[in-house]
Amino acid sequence: MMTKRRTIFFISDRTAISAETLGQSLLTQFEHLQFYQVTLPFVDTLEKARFAVMQINNAEQQSGAKPIIFSTLINDDIRQMIMTGKGVVFDFFDTYMGRLEEELRTTSSHTVGRYHGMVNDTAYNFRIDAVNYAMYNDDGASTKEYDKADIILIGVSRAGKTPTCLYLGLQFGIYAANYPLTEEDLVNKDGYLPPVLAPFRRKLFGLTISPERLYNIRARRRPDSRYSSFEQCRQEVALAETLFQYEDIPFINITTMSVEEIAATVLHECNLRRRVV
């Protein structure tokens, strides 16, 4: 028997990033259900809101179930318009703003899209500088700027270093470099650090991964190579973990972690100070 899927709408007057964050984190608690998901960003006029209502009502008619709407709508008129549709509206500002105003004993500015919009030049500059830093100092490409690094991630190839560094830069303005531990760095080195890293010992943080997952990632990239053989993965991981332990470098196993989770963990464990909120 087919169950009709609910439609979920994420509606915002700006990017809809907050609306998606809110909705997705709630929906992941209902993994056994399947949904159609529709994001409607930049709904900032009554006309666009009217069109959104048409889409909501249409989805209701198609599926026979009320769509669920996660929204972040500052403008009262636009929010009221969305509420005239045949959906169930969870509006984030509607829910919290009153109580927050009361608690802070002041009124809110009712300004659209301050958070992800209306760039703060200083924050933008910090983020861009940090992203550029991550790009120029990726994969051991350059080691000359390690003195500027807030953190240097080390680990075998494909252990999540690059995306984590980029995320740390984009999200938090952190200067993150990364250095790949190659076979040459690891074999017969008795667990000693590569010389280029030695002066920066206190900035080092290790990422490790299960050999099975590493094999899976590498094989997608370069199938049937020595690089992606399971034995190679197993050996490199074992040597890297020995190095971390021998040199007393903090490390985490990222096998089951998302990029956000790796980055948040590094930030937390290393007590890094973010440059942008």
Binding status of residue 268 toward a copy of itself by CB under 8 A: yes
Binding status of residue 3 toward a copy of itself by CB under 8 A: no
Long-range contacts of 233-239 (CB under 8 A, 24+ apart): 233/156, 236/156, 236/157, 236/181, 236/183, 236/186, 237/156, 237/208, 237/209, 237/210, 237/211, 239/181, 239/186, 239/187
SS3 content of the chain, % helix, strand, coil (to 5): 50, 15, 35
CB of 32 to a copy of itself, least distance (A): 7
CB 200 within 8 Å of CB 149: yes
CB of 201 to a copy of itself, least distance (A): 25
Binding status of residue 111 toward a copy of itself by CB under 8 A: yes
Give the residue, chosen from 3, 34, 61, 106, that forms a contact with a copy of itself under the rule CB under 8 A.
106
Give the residue, chosen from 80, 84, 108, 142, that forms a contact with a copy of itself under the rule CB under 8 A.
108
Residues 32-61 that bind a copy of itself (CB under 8 A): 32-33, 37, 41-42
For a copy of itself, the closer of residues 99 and 202 by Cβ is 99
Give the residue, chosen from 46, 54, 119, 238, that forms a contact with a copy of itself under the rule CB under 8 A.
119
- The first and second tokens of residue 128, run together, are 């861009």
Long-range contacts of 140-143 (CB under 8 A, 24+ apart): 140/178, 140/179, 140/180, 140/196, 143/177, 143/179, 143/196
CB 272 within 8 Å of CB 191: no
Residues 6-35 that bind a copy of itself (CB under 8 A): 6, 14-18, 21-22, 24-26, 28-33
Give the residue, chosen from 34, 64, 99, 271, that forms a contact with a copy of itself under the rule CB under 8 A.
99
Give the residue, chosen from 62, 80, 84, 95, that forms a contact with a copy of itself under the rule CB under 8 A.
95
Binding status of residue 141 toward a copy of itself by CB under 8 A: no
Distance CA 153, CA 208 (A): 10
What strand order describes the sheet that includes 151-155? 176-180, 151-155, 204-208, 251-253
Distance CA 271, CA 208 (A): 20
Candidate ranges 51-59, 161-169, 183-191, 228-236; the one touching a copy of itself (CB under 8 A): 161-169
CB of 31 to a copy of itself, least distance (A): 6
Binding status of residue 275 toward a copy of itself by CB under 8 A: no
Binding status of residue 188 toward a copy of itself by CB under 8 A: no
Binding status of residue 226 toward a copy of itself by CB under 8 A: no
- The first and second tokens of residue 61, run together, are 């008619």
Give the angle subtended at the CA of 20 by the CAs of 70 and 168, to the nearest 5°. 155
End-to-end alpha-carbon separation of the chain, Å? Answer: 48
For a copy of itself, the closer of residues 158 and 193 by Cβ is 158
Give the residue, chosen from 5, 48, 50, 116, that forms a contact with a copy of itself under the rule CB under 8 A.
116
Binding status of residue 220 toward a copy of itself by CB under 8 A: yes
Residues 168-187 that bind a copy of itself (CB under 8 A): 170
